[in-house]
């Protein structure tokens, strides 16, 4: 069983994907971390994320970077959306994601293009979304909890910028797969979102 969970930043897709993996006893891959690892490596090598050749050079990143706490920062997320627009970066990370999805027993993957490109034949596909204001409030609360003093307006502007880049790029843009079930978490608690996600997977398998 392969479960594809796609959606924009701070929509709740990561939380839902982790909960589905626990529920079904499947391994889980947060594919955003791969693009974040490329972005952080580009930065550390002093390269330019907007140059495709520079970003490609960072695709062969040191695996230890995947455990770096800096990976989850907003700044790295923004740069991840710059490196992820390069077709050669996406091609370089494709097989790794497909191999993960092809494990015996199955897997849960979350990202932007799992249902459309990585696993178009997934058993179940969810497209998790939420209003930009709601996503900004969630991300803002998370950042405050880590001691950040960034304002809500800035977080909202960052989310909108990242949405625009992810939806507007030519290579594997963020878009709901035709056969994905939409799940709007704007007015749902985490528990209710997970419950609804399990019902949607059950309806598709």
Determine whether the annotation assigns residue 129 to a binding site.
no
Backbone angles phi, psi at 28, to 5 degrees: -125, 140
Cβ closest to ligand C5P, residue 10 vs residue 194 = 10
On whether the CB atoms of residues 30 and 17 are closer than 8 A, the answer is yes
What is the spatial distance between Cα 16 and Cα 32, in angstroms, rounded to a whole number? 14
Cβ neighbour number for residue 192 with a 10 Å cutoff? 11
67 in Cβ contact with 30 (< 8 Å): no
Q: β-strands 107-111, 2-6: how paired?
A: parallel
Report CA dihedral (115, 117, 122, 124) to the nearest 10 degrees. Answer: 0
Q: Is 115 in the site for ligand C5P (CB under 6 A)?
A: no
Residues 45-84 contacting ligand C5P, CB under 6 A? 77, 80-81, 84
77 is in an annotated binding site: no
Q: Which is nearer to ligand C5P, 65 or 80 (CB)?
A: 80
Per CB under 6 A, 28 contacts ligand C5P: no
The β-bridge partners of 127 are 6, 182
12 is a site residue for ligand C5P (CB under 6 A):
no
Task: Choose which of 112, 125, 138, 139 interacts with ligand C5P (CB under 6 A).
Answer: 112
Strand-strand pairing, 124-129 and 2-6? parallel
Only one of the segments 61-69, 105-113, 139-147, 196-204 lies at the binding site for ligand C5P (rule: CB under 6 A); that segment is 105-113
- 172 in a labelled binding site: no
35 belongs to the binding site for ligand C5P (CB under 6 A): yes
- Is 36 among the residues that bind ligand C5P (CB under 6 A)? yes
Q: Would you tell me which residues interact with ligand C5P (CB under 6 A)? A: 9, 31-32, 35-36, 77, 80-81, 84, 111-113, 162, 166
Q: Which residues are annotated as a binding site for ATP?
A: 7-15
């Amino acid at each position: 069983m392969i479960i594809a969970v796609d959606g924009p930043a701070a929509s709740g897709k990561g939380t839902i994907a982790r909960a589905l993996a626990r529920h079904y006893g499947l391994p889980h891959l947060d594919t955003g971390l791969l693009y974040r690892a490329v972005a952080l490596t580009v930065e550390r090598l002093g390269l330019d994320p907007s140059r495709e050749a520079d970003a490609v050079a960072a695709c062969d990143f040191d695996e230890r970077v995947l455990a770096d706490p800096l990976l989850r920062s907003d700044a790295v997320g923004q740069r991840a959306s710059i490196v992820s627009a390069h077709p050669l970066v996406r091609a370089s990370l494709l097989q790794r994601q497909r191999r993960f999805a092809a494990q015996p027993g199955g897997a849960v993957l979350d990202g932007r293009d799992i249902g459309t490109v990585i696993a178009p034949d997934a058993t179940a596909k969810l497209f998790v979304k939420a209003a930009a204001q709601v996503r900004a409030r969630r991300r803002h609360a998370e950042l405050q909890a880590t001691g950040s003093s960034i304002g809500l307006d800035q977080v909202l502007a960052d989310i909108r910028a990242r949405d625009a880049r992810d939806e507007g790029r030519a290579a594997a843009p963020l878009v709901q797969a035709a056969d994905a079930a939409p799940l709007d978490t704007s007015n749902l608690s985490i528990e209710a979102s997970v419950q609804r996600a399990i019902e949607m997977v059950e309806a598709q398998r």
